[in-house]
Structure 1
Amino acid sequence: MVPLPVRDGLNPTRLVLPHDAASVARWTRTLDYVRHRFPDDAARLTEKVAAGEVVDGRGNRVDDRTPYAPRGFVFLYRDPPVEPDVPFEIRVLHRDRDLLVVDKPHFLATIPRGAHVARSVLVRLRRDLDLPELSPAHRLDRVTAGVLLLTIRPQVRGAYQELFARREVRKTYEAIAPYDPSLDLPATVRSRIVKQRGVMRAEEVPGEPNAESRVDLLEADGARGLARYRLEPHSGKTHQLRLHMNRLGVPILHDNFYPVQYDVAPDDYSRPLQLVSRSLDFVDPLDGRPRRFETDRVLDAW
């Protein structure tokens, strides 16, 4: 159990004190290690310690007298980074006692991560709707828009997250990409996708497939050389749909990772990835009724 509550939409940071021989020999006080981890936050750490905002796993205050405890936990609130505003609204599609379903805009991260902390769906909704226990049941990439399901009460969180983990949710996406009349669609694309920690792009490698997507043509605009596709992923690998569309030779429009990676300024919102999570279908794990949530979002390029 986390001993500090959500504050201003943000969970506290959790540190695990290393237990290797070098760390045990080096550190005698817990705060020495915390200051080592966050060397640029020395002044703020002093303030947080004085305010009782640095605690151990049992909620006891950590101060200069607290001894180093290998494998112990430290919780504290870190100041969020300065972030550019993401000038798009989150549209609520459905809300009940247990679920909040929204239409996530492009360029907004699902959860706090890296340079996108306060400017994330989770933090914005926790603050705007006063829902401190809100938690996503699944995730969408920052550059992907569309239907996103979150749980309101911690008591039901696991049931809905397990639906996604067991692949019992039918997820339907739409994408705008080049039109290739020679493609035999619908088609099922299978490949092995791996994502290395710290590497931005995922890649397809030889080996037994671990990712599967069904791709179908909805309509084509031959004059512009574009088409609208329906995509149904049967697995949930990072960048799966983007990789599989690229594999077919029709990479999703405005994809700055595949086939060639190129930089986009953090505040450049002019060319959103033409990919939307259109709908989610599943049998509700609490009452057994069928549920469907859908957005009417129109992709800019169509």
Structure 2
Amino acid sequence: MPSPLPVKNGVGPTRLRIPASGPWATIADYFVAKFDHLDSGDLYRRFDAGEIVDSDGRPIGRGTELGGSDPFVWYYRDLPAEDPVPFQEEILHADDDLVVIDKPHFLPTTPGGRYLRESALVRLRTRLDNPDLTPIHRLDRATAGLLMFSARPATRGAYQSLFEKRRVVKVYEAVSARPLEWDSDEPAIAGRAVPVLYRNHIAATRGTLRVVVDDAQEPNAETVIELKDSGISASGRAVLHTILRPHTGRKHQLRVHLAALGIGILGDSWYPDLLTEEPDDHSLPLQLLARELEFTDPLSGLPRKFITRRTLSEAPVTER
């Protein structure tokens, strides 16, 4: 749905669905009840100031009743103070249609939760002065590496269709703690000789942090796990360095698959176990990196390949 309000300081407006009926006399009353943690006087002031609009951009007054033909209102969120993410994205490619960046760990792809300005999208919109920038795919906040953005609406669908039709070859790297039973002469993961093809059924439930694995259903997620290296990291950990080639793109797929094979990714506080939320540990970011993106450009027909310049801090530096 197109927004009646423009992007402002890199952040787009918020859309809220208004119920057709209820115990509230007006839209403003519903707004105040929904956001009861905010100051009601300030919320009413925003209606009086014309800051809350309908889908045509017309201001909604304090006395506008529920039940109008337009079920949505639009507004700008008040931006809270944010702790800056102390790592910078790198622009690897930019043209009139496509922007590719190397995203650092800890930076979310899009605004959400406590991160608004401190997201790759808002940073790039501001940095490139382009409010039309939109991510073509996403990386978890904890994951570093290659991330693609559409630079203009006219060609956005062409690039989005690449991912929808699985015409993008994606390669990742991960570092895990090395299993105690590891045998360098006969490398195997969970008793399977490498490379390992792992498949299962992953389902994401709205409102939950983690995905659910359902072994009773047909697999819908598939990853090939290859061994890149094993040894000792700079911090002294015995580790496995793997190359991951996902054939599907389910939420948290790589994290779930490695955890299921007994080689959960170092720095992962969600899989295999959900740990208590703690402040970000910059000394041990999630050891997962989006390393390569390769595809045929839908506009020019030419092959394109992008490779990250980042590395994983816990990759082995010595053999043992």
TM-score (norm. length: structure 1): 0.93
Distance, in Å, in 2 between the alignment partners of 1:267 and 1:220 is 27
Q: 3-state SS of the aligned residue for 1:55?
A: coil
Distance, in Å, in 1 between the alignment partners of 2:75 and 2:148 is 28
Distance apart, 1:70 and its partner CA: 5.8
Q: 3-state SS of the aligned residue for 2:74?
A: strand
Matched, 1:194 2:200: no
Asked if 2 retains the 8 angstrom alpha-carbon contact of 1:16 and 1:71, the reply is: no
Residue matched to 2:173:
174
Distance apart, 1:229 and its partner CA: 0.8
Q: 3-state SS of the aligned residue for 1:26?
A: coil
Whichever residue aligns with residue 32 of structure 2, its letter is R
Q: Map residues 87-106 of structure 1 onto 2, 5 A cutoff.
A: 87-106=86-105
Deviations 1:136-185 (A, max 9, x none): 00000010000000011111122211211221111100011133333311
Say which of 246, 250, 271 aligns to 2:263: 250
Whichever residue aligns with residue 286 of structure 1, its letter is L
Residue matched to 1:288:
301
Q: Map residues 71-82 of structure 1 onto 2, 5 A cutoff.
A: 72-82=71-81
Residue matched to 1:228:
241
Residue matched to 1:6:
7
Q: Map residues 34-53 of structure 1 onto 2, 5 A cutoff.
A: 34-39=31-36, 40-53=38-51
Distance, in Å, in 2 between the alignment partners of 1:218 and 1:129 is 37
Residue matched to 1:209:
219
Distance, in Å, in 2 between the alignment partners of 1:259 and 1:60 is 49
Distance, in Å, in 1 between the alignment partners of 2:225 and 2:43 is 51
Whichever residue aligns with residue 128 of structure 1, its letter is R
Matched, 1:60 2:58: yes
Distance, in Å, in 2 between the alignment partners of 1:37 and 1:71 is 18
Q: 3-state SS of the aligned residue for 1:84?
A: coil
Range with greater deviation from structure 2 (137-146 or 42-51): 42-51
Identity %: 45
Distance, in Å, in 2 between the alignment partners of 1:262 and 1:102 is 30
Distance apart, 1:83 and its partner CA: 2.4
The two structures, once aligned, show a CA RMSD in angstroms of 1.7
Q: 3-state SS of the aligned residue for 1:262?
A: coil
Residue matched to 1:112:
111
Say which of 20, 24, 28 aligns to 2:25: 28
Aligned residues: 298
Deviations 1:105-127 (A, max 9, x none): 10111001112222111111112
**Distance 1:25-1:89 versus aligned 2 partners, 3 A rule:** closer
Range with greater deviation from structure 2 (221-230 or 72-81): 221-230
Q: 3-state SS of the aligned residue for 2:113?
A: coil
Distance apart, 1:31 and its partner CA: 1.5
Distance apart, 1:51 and its partner CA: 3.3
Distance apart, 1:97 and its partner CA: 0.7
TM-score (norm. length: structure 2): 0.88
Structure 1 gap ranges (5+): none
Structure 2 gap ranges (5+): 316-320
Range with greater deviation from structure 2 (55-64 or 179-188): 179-188
Distance apart, 1:15 and its partner CA: 1.1
